[in-house]
């Protein structure tokens, strides 16, 4: 399954867990969805302390057809829902890394978390902003700084001795 990592800058993050969004629906009163953030503790990453959270994010899909229950009875179906999960990693310098799901699921989850959490004096508001990268200044920084220097390489199976330049 394709996986994505999305990085955003933290603006506001819930203080009490689990943090739930308000119920959001599809236009009908019978289909209401609530996403939830659970605190998992420190991540597996060992070079710095990064907190890990899991988002439970139910989504609905339109569907037309017959549903068959275990007792054999048939029912018309117009929609189905499924529970999706993805992780949030919160760095010490207030960046959020969203991972372990498809990009569309994560983006939909971020939107629901942003629109569905309100401050009722509890400090449980979620808000983050997209990060933009200026590629031209990044190119200059890489060329001028230590980031652009090649420190080593692995030339497996090429049978070339003393490689000095690689493209």
pLDDT in tens, 102-119: 898 899 889 888 887 765
pLDDT range class, residue 46, cuts 50, 70, 90:
confident
CB count within 10 Å of CB 126 equals 24
Per mean pLDDT, which range of 5-14, 22-31, 61-70, 151-160 is the poorest? 22-31
- SS3 at position 164: coil
Instruction: State the pairing for strand pair 24-25/19-20.
Output: unpaired
Other CB atoms closer than 10 Å to residue 30's CB: what's the count? 7
Q: What angle do CA 42, 47, 53 make, to 5 degrees?
A: 25
pLDDT at 112: 87
What is the Cα–Cα distance from 124 to 127, expressed in whole angstroms? 10
Please state whether the peptide bond connecting residue 18 to the residue before it is cis, i.e. omega within 30 degrees of 0: yes
Across 77-88, average pLDDT? 78
Q: What share of the chain is helix, strand, coil (3-state, %, to 5)?
A: 15, 40, 45
Residue 77 bridge partners (DSSP): 65
**For residues 144 and 52, which has the higher predicted lDDT (pLDDT)?**
52
> What's the pLDDT score for residue 75?
72
Roughly how many angstroms between the first and final C-alpha of the chain, as a whole number? 31
d(C-alpha 96, C-alpha 13), whole Å: 10
According to DSSP, residue 28 is labeled S
Contact 21, 34 (CB under 8 A): yes
């Amino acid at each position: 399954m394709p996986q994505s990592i999305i990085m955003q800058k933290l603006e506001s993050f819930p203080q009490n867990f689990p943090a739930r969004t308000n119920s959001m629906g599809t236009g009908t009163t019978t289909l209401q969805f609530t996403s939830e953030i659970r605190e998992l503790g420190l991540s597996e990453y060992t070079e710095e302390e990064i907190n890990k959270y899991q988002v439970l994010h139910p989504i609905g899909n339109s569907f037309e057809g017959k549903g068959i229950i275990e007792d054999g009875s048939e029912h018309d179906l117009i929609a189905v829902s499924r529970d999706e999960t993805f992780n949030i990693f919160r760095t010490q310098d207030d960046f959020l890394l969203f991972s372990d799901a498809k990009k569309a699921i994560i983006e939909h989850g971020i939107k629901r978390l942003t629109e569905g959490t309100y401050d009722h004096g509890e400090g449980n508001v979620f808000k983050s902003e997209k990060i933009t990268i200026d590629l031209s200044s990044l190119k200059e920084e890489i060329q001028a700084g230590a980031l652009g220097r090649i420190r080593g390489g692995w030339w497996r199976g090429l049978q070339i001795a003393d490689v000095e330049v690689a493209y």
